[in-house]
Homo-oligomer: A and B are copies of this chain.
Amino acid sequence: MSDPIELPTTPAFVLVRPQMGENIGAAARAMWNFGLDRMRIVAPRDGWPNQNAVAMASGAGRLLDEARLTDDLAGAINDCTFVYATTARSRDLTKPVVSPEEAMRQAAAKIADGQRVAVLFGPERAGLENEDIARANAIISVPVNPTFPSLNLAQCVLLVAYEWMRATAEITHETVEMAGTVWADAVEIEHLANHYQDRMEEAGFFFPDHKAQSMRTNLRNMWSRMPLTRADVQMLHGMLRQLMRWKTRDDETR
């Protein structure tokens, strides 16, 4: 029985009658990539412990060491208050069916509310039986290509674990790696634009006359459209100056 004071903060993932040790190890890696480490294993075909699982799990081996092993599904979920079964939708049994995203959204809410949640994954070849699904509260169905539904066990585990992460982690959706520089401000852009305009003017670029002003404006517009950093601006100044030095050297040799 679980200690009511120490509620789990993550769902348990239950591998039901898994067949190959490599797949169990791969499932452990998939879980731990997204911070999940509560694994339960029901009647593994090749017994336990399983050296193939250990070898494949590698750095996620702790999950195997700590996994709860049971002979049957009922034992694996006896302390749970809400169980999801990951399977293709079954037309035989009346059951709520949710997407992985919705399941993990719900799971996060239930866990925050003190529930104890588990997710079942079936044997590689046949998947969960109706007798397994009957013991779940709801089905998770991954929205795969109906003409090619071919996720393996570790991939199923990965996707549900990923959705748990999405439902609970503070994800930075968009940022910029500044690599030690900062954004150029408008003054720096203006200075860069003037440097280029002056040289291009001297070079006779804004030609013919009736197009000159629109060309100047288009160029000025381009600088402001570009997400330039101070480092970019310095490099662009330097490039133009070097071209001028090169020109001067060649002018001197003529």
Contacts and interface: CB of A to CB of B under 8 A. Distances in A.
Interface of A: 29-30, 32-35, 58-60, 89-99, 101-102, 139, 143-145, 148-151, 154-155, 158-159, 162, 165-166, 169, 171-181, 229, 231-232
A105 to B, nearest CB: 9
Contacts of A102: 173-174
A60 to B, nearest CB: 6
Contact of A92 (B93, B94, B179): B179
B94 A181 contact: yes
Given A150-B33, A159-B158, A94 B173 contact: no
Given A150-B29, A158-B159, A94 B145 contact: no
A117 B30 CA distance: 28
A96 B174 contact: yes
A92 to B, nearest CB: 6
A155 B101 CA distance: 18
Contacts of A175: 96-98
Contacts of A90: 177, 179
13 contacts: A30-B155, A32-B145, A33-B145, A60-B148, A89-B177, A90-B177, A90-B179, A93-B177, A93-B179, A94-B177, A96-B175, A97-B176, A159-B162
A92 B178 CA distance: 9
A22 to B, nearest CB: 13
A151 B165 CA distance: 14
A228 B159 CA distance: 31
A91 B177 contact: yes
Contact of A155 (B60, B144, B155): B155
Contact of A143 (B92, B93, B165): B165
A64 B124 CA distance: 25
Contacts of A32: 145, 148, 150
A154 B166 CA distance: 20
Contact of A59 (B143, B148, B154, B231): B148
A29 B179 CA distance: 36
Given A33-B150, A60-B148, A158-B158, 9 more contacts: A33-B144, A34-B145, A91-B180, A94-B232, A99-B171, A101-B166, A154-B155, A158-B159, A162-B162
A33 to B, nearest CB: 5
A161 to B, nearest CB: 10
